[in-house]
Amino acid sequence: MDRRQFLFGAAAAAPLLGARSAFGAEPGPRDAELRALLDTFWNADLDAAPQMATERGLDVGPRAAQRGKLNDASRAGRNAWIGARKERLAALARISPEDLSPAARVDHEVTTYTYRRAVDGGLKYDFGEGQAGFGYAPYSPYVLSQLTGAYQAIPDFLDSRHPVRTTEDAEAYLSRLEGYATALDANTQALELDAAKGVLAPDFALDAGLAQLRRQRAVGATDASVTRSLATRAAKTGLTGDWAGRAAAIVSAAVYPALDRQIAALEAARAKATSDAGAWKLPDGGAFYADALAFQTTTRRTPDEVHRLGLQQVAELEAQIDTRLRRLGLTTGTVAQRLTALSARPDQQYANTDAGRAQLLADLNAQTAAIRARMGTVFRTLPAAPVEIVRVPPEIEDGAPNGYAQAPALDGSRPGRFYINLKDTAEWPKFNLPTLTYHEALPGHVWQGSISLGSQQIPMLRRAGMGFAAYGEGWALYAEQLAAEMGVYEGDPLGEIGYLQSLQFRAVRLVVDTGLHFKRWSRARATDYMVDQTGMPRARVQREIDRYCIWPGQACSYKIGHVEWVRLRDEAKKRAGARFDLKAFHDVLLQGPMPLVVLEQTLATMFPA
């Protein structure tokens, strides 16, 4: 049996065929031609992105050589990536949607939408990250910051995704370690090109990036995290050889000199940086932010519309939280002040120790197991969706997001992962944690990703090679609401408050992201607003605000996506009436990630009037 089929289980296969039948069973005359073209695109992407091949568990057989390579982080690589998408648009245009079945038409529309955004943005804005970055190209404007850059991404990739099971794996690791030095220099060169155009992350972001770079450089080559990762895992697997010595030699001879060059270049660039936090300062910054917002939300909402929506939703959620706090006798102070006091209560705190962190992770695992037992009540597609809950690596936690998910390998060799930043456990009061679990693990990112990856009816390009922030983050926020609708907070009023605080937190993001990038708010003003509205710890909020400064528009994808998922469900209910089936609605996940404007059309087909 195919391991991928085994991983997702027979339960995923049966309803999957029915989900596509909503589009009509008859294939179009050019369906096969489109599928072959999309498969060609997918294989070309694997050729150009060996790290993705490893992440998906596809660097085997004829792709075994990919395991020793890294993505091209150079500016030439970015330009080639954009040029390839321009060529793909031309190839797609030669296939008329009229010659496709409704299902294939969705594949065509999603792919065309994706490449059009990449080409238009990439040609219009000649700066920032390429495909080797986080996945927000061409709207990730800073190649180096506290969040972006090879110095952060590659050590984490080598440690958490590169396998070390065989001698060949270990040799491939060493090859990639040499490639790490090349990627660092490519980043450095791109930084210098962009700095000459006036494109630099804010000074506080460069300071944080420099601190992390210096921390990585400060240890001896034998104690470097990239050396220890290989040595430890090789020893655990029983591989003989001087892996630590060989890795340390590469670090000393190639990686550390490249880090030194990057530190020097970043120090020089830092002298030109300002504290201006918003994208408005970039070349054609107003247009850049409007385009970035459209890219991240896959809607047509303007920055002003998003700002006003955020203010409205913040007020509505604040009123709901206030009502529930009063029911518990918590009446003194503003809503944010009462939430802050609640967060600081001893019964809501984990010890900021290794033991406290271990207990927090154990509780997250217990919450995941509990919600898993309920999934059959609202889903008919039930993937195995194994998930590991792990700590963000300490060496990058200063700049890393507070939480994020990672998709499983397609071959089942690695489960989905939910990373939580445990720099300070005081940032995670207990009443906040259940909804975080539902967002990142089940029924959120890991669950949605497992269903999409397990779908045999959509092209592999769409299953594993495309993502849309508003679709995925909107689903994860919808998953928080779904968990509440499933009754997880019955008898847990504090947990319900944590859920509403999470929604409010995402509504506040609409205000501060548009505030920073559209209304020219300062970093301090955005931070104060978020603290005053949410009651969350300032250190946690500061990391959030600093993240929004680096990825314009991305923070808006959550609540905009949530608003759209809920609206589209309500409209499907209205059209279908008594015929509406929530489990059938959730089977839209089998159609794979897509822009929200395409999701609306897809659900209209699945649930006609």
Q: Is residue 406 part of a domain?
A: yes
* Structure confidence at residue 141 as a pLDDT band (50, 70, 90): very high
| Mean of pLDDT values over 520-540 | 94
Q: What is the pLDDT of residue 536?
A: 87
The answer, yes or no, to whether the previous bond of 415 is cis (omega within 30 of 0) is: no
Structure tokens at 72: 């091209």
Confidence of residue 395 (pLDDT cuts 50, 70, 90): confident
Q: What token pair was written down for 47?
A: 């050729």
Q: Distance (Å, rounded) from C-alpha 167 to C-alpha 568?
A: 51
Opening angle at CA 547, ends 46 and 451, nearest 5: 45
Are 212 and 301 found together in one domain? no
- CA distances in angstroms from 523 to 146, 209, 593, listed in the order given: 15, 17, 33
Mean pLDDT of 518-532: 97
Query: Using omega within 30 degrees of 0 as the cis cutoff, is the peptide bond preceding 443 cis?
Result: yes
Query: Is 481 found in the same domain as 388?
Result: yes
Residues 390 and 529 in one domain: yes
| CB contact at 8 A, 270 and 207 | yes
Over residues 575-594, the pLDDT tens digits come to: 999 999 999 999 999 999 99
597 domain-assigned: yes
CB 134 within 8 Å of CB 154: no
Query: How does pLDDT run across 305-328, given as a tens digit for each residue?
Result: 999 999 999 999 999 999 999 999
Tell me if 124 is assigned to some domain: yes
In a domain, 326, yes or no: yes
Confidence class of residue 133 from pLDDT cuts 50, 70 and 90? low
Amino acid at 521: W
Query: Which has the closest alpha carbon to 600: 559, 569, 557, 560?
Result: 569
**Which of the listed residues 243, 276, 309 is the one where a domain comes to its end?**
276
Reported as a single tens digit per residue, the pLDDT across 231-279 is: 999 999 999 999 999 999 999 999 999 999 999 999 999 999 999 999 9
Tell me, yes or no, whether 257 and 369 share the same domain: no
The reply to whether 451 and 498 lie within a common domain is: yes
Classify the C-alpha dihedral 264-266-270-273 as positive or negative. Answer: positive
341 and 267 in a common domain: no
pLDDT in tens, 171-211: 999 999 999 999 999 999 999 999 999 999 999 999 999 99
Whether residue 234 sits in one domain with residue 303: no
Q: Note whether residue 10 is domain-resident.
A: no
- Give the pLDDT confidence score for residue 26 in this predicted structure: 86
Average pLDDT, the chain: 93
Q: Measured between alpha carbons, how far is 311 from 521 in angstroms, rounded to an integer?
A: 15
Residue with tokens 């060989």: 246
* Res 1 pLDDT > 80: no
| pLDDT band, very low/low/confident/very high, at 22 (cuts 50, 70, 90) | low
435 plus 529 within the same structural domain: yes
pLDDT exceeds cutoff 80 at 598? yes
Could you tell me if residue 146 is inside a domain? yes
CB-CB contact of 102 with 605 (8 Å): yes
- 34 occurs within a structural domain: no
Could you give the CA distance from residue 338 to residue 456 in angstroms, rounded to a whole number?
A: 49
Same domain, 117 and 217: yes
User: What's the pTM value of the predicted model, to 2 decimals?
Assistant: 0.91
Instruction: Tell me how crowded residue 468 is: count the other CB atoms within 10 A of its CB.
Output: 26
Tens digit of each residue's pLDDT (9 = 90 or more) over 30-79 = 999 999 999 999 999 999 999 999 998 899 999 999 999 999 999 999 99
Give the pLDDT confidence score for residue 413 in this predicted structure: 77
Q: Quote the domain boundaries for residue 461.
A: 297-606
**CA pair distance 164, 234, nearest whole angstrom:** 6
Lowest-confidence pick of 213-217, 351-355, 416-420, 484-488: 416-420
Structural contact between residues 420 and 402, judged by C-beta atoms closer than 8 angstroms: yes
397 — pLDDT class (breaks 50, 70, 90): confident
396-416 average pLDDT score: 78
pLDDT band at residue 13 using 50, 70 and 90 as cut-offs: very low
In the chain, the percentage of residues whose pLDDT exceeds 70 is 96
Position 24 scores a pLDDT of 57
Asked whether residue 91 is assigned to any structural domain, the reply reads: yes
Average pLDDT over residues 387-410: 82
Q: Domain total for the chain?
A: 2
- If asked whether residues 549 and 583 sit together in one domain, one would say yes
CA 526 to chain centre: 22
Looking at the fold, whether 133 and 234 belong to one and the same domain comes out as yes
What does the pLDDT read at residue 375?
98
pLDDT band at 16 (very low <50, low <70, confident <90, very high): very low
What letter does residue 283 receive in the DSSP assignment?
T
Same domain assignment for residues 164 and 302:
no
